[in-house]
Every structure is written in structure tokens, then in C-alpha cells.
């Protein structure tokens, strides 16, 4: 029985046990996915000496930076300085960040109409935005806009080759965007919505929200009312998990309607 899990503080809210439990069953894998609570003061020690019982782990808030400090980073983990998927290889622990991959895979699966040659506009400049901006950059023009403009500028500079604009300019750039992504926490149950005039977007634009609780945020509802393509945040969560499963068990798992329904039932 191979053991994997998610390291965080707290981790009780994680949906990953449901996702991995579904794939264990689907692919007949003898595995167990556990919640691994690690206090912030113990994180460096934990990742420096990842206990042998774990075949690999996912890492969530607030430990993604600590994980990246102690493993051999690959791909976006190198640029971003965060790792959320760790695996063992050749006697060492390796890590990457799968959030950007998860976002793009979800977009490709759920919004085949996405035209990456138009402006890809990302609102927000936190951890999730950084992963998304870095992933979108290889597809075309990317612009990041954030309430705190200095963070948008810093993120654009860190990733390189990315534009940024001030919060006040957001309404004006909508007309050029083929993709609008809400990568802020606005729209989550209990928070204010991200209020934008989505009617200013081109008619073929895709609106994606990475918030998945609720599944249809006020932004997505407004976009749907304008007959725009919409992508909710659950796809990103499910697709980012495929990276760990493939690393640990050698199978690229499917993200299908049955898996989605199981996770929706937990929201």
C-alpha cells in the first residue's frame, strides 16, 4: 500500500482525498491519501527529511515556499519558488507546481473556443495568479491587473514578458481580452463579488473563475447572461491533481463527470 497525502496547516478542508480515492478505485491502485497537518514551525524540518513512509505528497498553504526550499525544483517551481507536488526519484525528492498546468488543462477541456492569440487578462496577483500567469505566458500575450498595483508590477517582472496595468484601467482593457481570469478571492462564498462590466468583453471571450465555492460565482453568472463561454474553478483543482497521481502511480488519470460530481457533492 503506497501512501501519499497533502501537507498543510490546516488541511482539514482539502478535497484531495475524494479526488485520489476516486482514482484509486478507478485504476485499481493500492494507495492511501492522507491529510498531513504540519505546523509552520515544523515545515522546514519536514521537507528537509521527507519521512520515508510517503511515496510523494501534495503541499498546500502555507507550506508551498518551504517545500520549494528543500527539494529539487522543476518547471514552474523554479520560476515561482513554490512547490505543491513532491515525488522521489534517484534518491532525491523533486518538486513542481501543478496549478498552472491545472488551469490550462481545465481551460482546454472546458473552453475549446479559447483563442490564446488574443489578450489573456488575469485579475489578481497572489499565489494562484502567479502560477496561471506563468502557464499562460507560453500561449500568448498576458496582462496582470491587481487591486494593489505594485504586486501586479512585481509579478509581471518576476515572470518576465508579461504586461501589467492598474486597477483603474481594468475596464478599458476588457475590450481586447479573449480570456478574463478571476484569480482573486473575490466571489468566494462570504466575500464581495468581482464587479466588472463583462459586456465590454469581445463576444467570443472566455471568462474563467478559479474560485470554486460557489461553482457559479457572480462573475460567471454575469458572463453567462451575456452568452460568453465560462469555466469554473473546479476544473483547475481536479486537473492540477493529475500531476501527482501520474508521478506517484505512473497513470495519467482522467478528469471526468463522475469525479466532478463526487467533488461537487462535498462543496
Positions in the binding site for ligand NAP (CB under 6 A): 99, 124-129, 146-148, 151, 184-186, 188, 210-212, 233, 236-237, 240
CB of 19 to ligand NAP, least distance (A): 11
CB of 119 to ligand NAP, least distance (A): 19
- Nearer to ligand NAP (CB atom), residue 12 or residue 227: 12
Catalytic residue among 64, 108, 137, 158: 64
Estimate the share of the chain in helix, then strand, then coil, as percent rounded to the nearest 5.
40, 20, 35
Which residues, 6+ apart, have CB-to-CB distance to 243 below 8 Å? 85, 96, 98, 101, 102
End-to-end CA distance of the chain: 29
The C-alpha atoms of residue 78 and residue 251 are separated, in whole angstroms, by 25
The C-alpha atoms of residue 242 and residue 237 are separated, in whole angstroms, by 9
- Nearer to ligand NAP (CB atom), residue 3 or residue 158: 158
Residue number with the smallest Cβ distance to ligand NAP: 126
The C-alpha atoms of residue 38 and residue 5 are separated, in whole angstroms, by 12
Q: Is 203 a catalytic residue?
A: no
What backbone torsions phi and psi does residue 55 show, to the nearest 5 degrees?
Answer: -65, -40
CB of 92 to ligand NAP, least distance (A): 27
- Nearer to ligand NAP (CB atom), residue 130 or residue 228: 130
- Nearer to ligand NAP (CB atom), residue 119 or residue 145: 145
- Nearer to ligand NAP (CB atom), residue 58 or residue 146: 146
CB of 182 to ligand NAP, least distance (A): 8
DSSP H helices in the chain? 16-27, 43-48, 64-70, 76-80, 99-110, 127-136, 149-159, 170-173, 218-225, 234-249, 257-264
DSSP output for 94-118: EEE--HHHHHHHHHHHH-TT--TTS
Buried b (16+ CB within 10 A) or exposed e, 110-123: bbeebebebbbbbb
CB of 243 to ligand NAP, least distance (A): 12
Chain center to CA of 141 = 19
List residues with catalytic annotation. 64
Amino acid at each position: 500500500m503506497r501512501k501519499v497525502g497533502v501537507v498543510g496547516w490546516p488541511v482539514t478542508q482539502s478535497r484531495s482525498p475524494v479526488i485520489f480515492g476516486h482514482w484509486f478505485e478507478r485504476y485499481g491502485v493500492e494507495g492511501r491519501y492522507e491529510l498531513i497537518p504540519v505546523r509552520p514551525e515544523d515545515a522546514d524540518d519536514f521537507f528537509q527529511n521527507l519521512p520515508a513512509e510517503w511515496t510523494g505528497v501534495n503541499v498546500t498553504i502555507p507550506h508551498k515556499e518551504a517545500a520549494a526550499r528543500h527539494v529539487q525544483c522543476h518547471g514552474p517551481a523554479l520560476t515561482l519558488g513554490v512547490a505543491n507536488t513532491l515525488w522521489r526519484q534517484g534518491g532525491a525528492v523533486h518538486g513542481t507546481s501543478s496549478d498552472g498546468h491545472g488551469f490550462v488543462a481545465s481551460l482546454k477541456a472546458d473552453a475549446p473556443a479559447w483563442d490564446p492569440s488574443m489578450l489573456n487578462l488575469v485579475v489578481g496577483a497572489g499565489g494562484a495568479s502567479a502560477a496561471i500567469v506563468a502557464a499562460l505566458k507560453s500561449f500568448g500575450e498576458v496582462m496582470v491587473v491587481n487591486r494593489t498595483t505594485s504586486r501586479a508590477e512585481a509579478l509581471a517582472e518576476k515572470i518576465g514578458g508579461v504586461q501589467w496595468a492598474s486597477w483603474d484601467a481594468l475596464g478599458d482593457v476588457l475590450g481586447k481580452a479573449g480570456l478574463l481570469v478571476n484569480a482573486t478571492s473575490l466571489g468566494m462564498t462570504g466575500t464581495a463579488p468581482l464587479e466588472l462590466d463583462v459586456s465590454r468583453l469581445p463576444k467570443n471571450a472566455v471568462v474563467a473563475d478559479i474560485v470554486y465555492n460557489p461553482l457559479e460565482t457572480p462573475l460567471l453568472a454575469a458572463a453567462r447572461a451575456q452568452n460568453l463561454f465560462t469555466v469554473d474553478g473546479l476544473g483547475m483543482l481536479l486537473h492540477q491533481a493529475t500531476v501527482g497521481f501520474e508521478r506517484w502511480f505512473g497513470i495519467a488519470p482522467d478528469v471526468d463527470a463522475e469525479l466532478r460530481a463526487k467533488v461537487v457533492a462535498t462543496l
